[in-house]
Amino acid sequence: MKRPRRGLLAAAAAAAAVLTLLGAALRSGAARDDAGDADVEVGLLTRAMVSVAEALGAREPAYAIGCYAETSAEPPADREEEEPKRGSIFFLETSCRSSRAGRLELGARQACAVESAARGNPGLQVYLLFASPAARNWTAWSWAARELLAYPNVHIRHVNVERYLRGTPLEELYTSGALRRSYWPVSHASDVLRFLTLWRYSGTYLDLDVVLTKPLDNMRNFAGAESPSNVAVGAINMADDELGRRVANECVHDIKESFRGDVWGHNGPGVMTRVLKRLCGVNKAVKMTPAKCGGFRVHPPSAFYPVSWSEWQLYFQEAGSDKTMARLRDSVAIHVWNKLSSKEGVRVGSRQPYGLIARRHCPRVYERSAPVF
């Protein structure tokens, strides 16, 4: 009999660790009353997810953001493109994939997210910001990126990360090498840049695996809870008003003071949750009401995360599709958990829920990607 490969043994051990830690988290939650501290639960869940990531070799090397230092294709600072319009919708691509390809690389599902925002919010400008300098090679775009040019409110820009952070409270995270030393530099760069972008320009930040299913209209100063304890950061708005600027400023200073490269969720959902606990004077997301939070609204999971990360397969299963679609009916968006689902195919024309959503809300990219989205 063949011996199992070491990697599979590690993955099995990680899975066992997940079950153990999740059980401990749930028991811990059950043992606390409503006034208990939710940090224990969040910490246990984070450790469970990290144990899987590490066992599967998912930690990112320092050179994962090495392209940020490439300056050969950079224009002079005084020739940078005009500033984004305040109060816009922002997406970030912080990997170096475009640099490795030598052209602007954007996947179909990433483009779907951008198309859904542009199509559903024609009165708002939508900016897709690339950290990779190769994104400046406009002569060689991926087909998915070119499809977005059909929308006049879409703007695809490169940001020089060093310049973008220069003179801001987060400059030292880059110049000190803290980002490069992170276990997950691409993910943590995204955390840093999303908060900094809203600090600089206000508006809405969306992950590239979030598909908007309803217009944002006049939604201001919001985030979405992922669980009763935790506020997620896949869809957040900090408006250009006193409250929005206050929240953005507190988020930027929280990540400056407490940045940790060895804890995956500490610099994203951790920042948002900590800031809102202080603002609202409560210790759980479920208690964060506009009345307690000075007008800031924390939507329930059904608004932006109607299918949790542990159920991501529902987006890809035709069996039970009608039931899943009914579950999404009142949501503002869906989050498809790309870290887990990226290898799962969607057949164009199928009744897989993700495909049905894409057909309606990002039709150009969806149809162009046939036979598999």
Report which of 234, 238, 307 is spatially closest to residue 265, judged by C-alpha positions.
Answer: 234
Say yes or no: 192 and 45 in one domain. Answer: no
Residue type, 366: Y
Largest Cα–Cα separation, the chain: 67
pLDDT at 48 over 60: no
Could you count the other beta carbons within 10 Å of the beta carbon of residue 103?
20
Say yes or no: 90 and 36 in one domain. Answer: no
Q: What is the pLDDT of residue 81?
A: 64
pTM, two decimal places: 0.86
Averaged over 180-194, what is the pLDDT? 97
pLDDT at 173 over 80: yes
Q: Give the angle subtended at the CA of 262 by the CAs of 259 and 268, to the nearest 5°.
A: 50
Q: Look up tokens 């987006």; give the residue.
A: 315
The Cα 157–Cα 144 span in angstroms is 15
Say yes or no: 249 and 208 in one domain. Answer: yes
Provide the pLDDT confidence category of residue 137 given band limits of 50, 70 and 90: low
The three-state (H, E, C) secondary structure of 32-75, written as one string: CCCCCCCHHHHHHHHHHHHHHHHHCCCCCCHHHHHHHHCCCCCC
Q: Do the domain assignments include residue 316?
A: yes
- Segments forming the whole domain that contains residue 10: 6-58
Say yes or no: 298 and 223 in one domain. Answer: yes
Q: What is the pLDDT of residue 120?
A: 98
pLDDT at 41 over 60: no
Averaged over 126-153, what is the pLDDT? 89
The Cα 139–Cα 135 span in angstroms is 10
* Residue 2 or 143, more confident: 143
pLDDT at 27 over 90: no
How many domains, the chain?
3
CB 294 within 8 A of CB 79: no
The CA–CA distances, whole Å, from 121 to 118, 151, 355 equal 5, 11, 21
Q: Do the domain assignments include residue 215?
A: yes
pLDDT at 138 over 70: no
Residues 195-237: pLDDT tens digits?
999 999 999 999 999 999 999 988 999 999 999 999 999 999 9
The Cα 298–Cα 181 span in angstroms is 32
Q: Do the domain assignments include residue 48?
A: yes
Q: Which two tokens stand for residue 180?
A: 């490069």
The Cα 84–Cα 120 span in angstroms is 19
The Cα 350–Cα 356 span in angstroms is 8
Say yes or no: 53 and 83 in one domain. Answer: no
pLDDT at 79 over 50: no
The Cα 132–Cα 218 span in angstroms is 32
Say yes or no: 318 and 236 in one domain. Answer: no
Q: What is the pLDDT of residue 269?
A: 98
The Cα 261–Cα 192 span in angstroms is 11
Say yes or no: 138 and 286 in one domain. Answer: yes
Instruction: Return mean pLDDT, the chain.
Output: 86
pLDDT at 278 over 70: yes
Provide the pLDDT confidence category of residue 139 given band limits of 50, 70 and 90: low
Averaged over 29-51, what is the pLDDT? 43
Provide the pLDDT confidence category of residue 140 given band limits of 50, 70 and 90: confident
Say yes or no: 37 and 168 in one domain. Answer: no
Residues 100-129: pLDDT tens digits?
988 899 999 999 999 999 999 999 999 999
Residues 300-342: pLDDT tens digits?
999 999 999 999 999 999 999 999 999 999 999 999 999 999 9
Q: What is the pLDDT of residue 60?
A: 87
The CA–CA distances, whole Å, from 130 to 9, 33, 135, 164 equal 37, 44, 6, 12
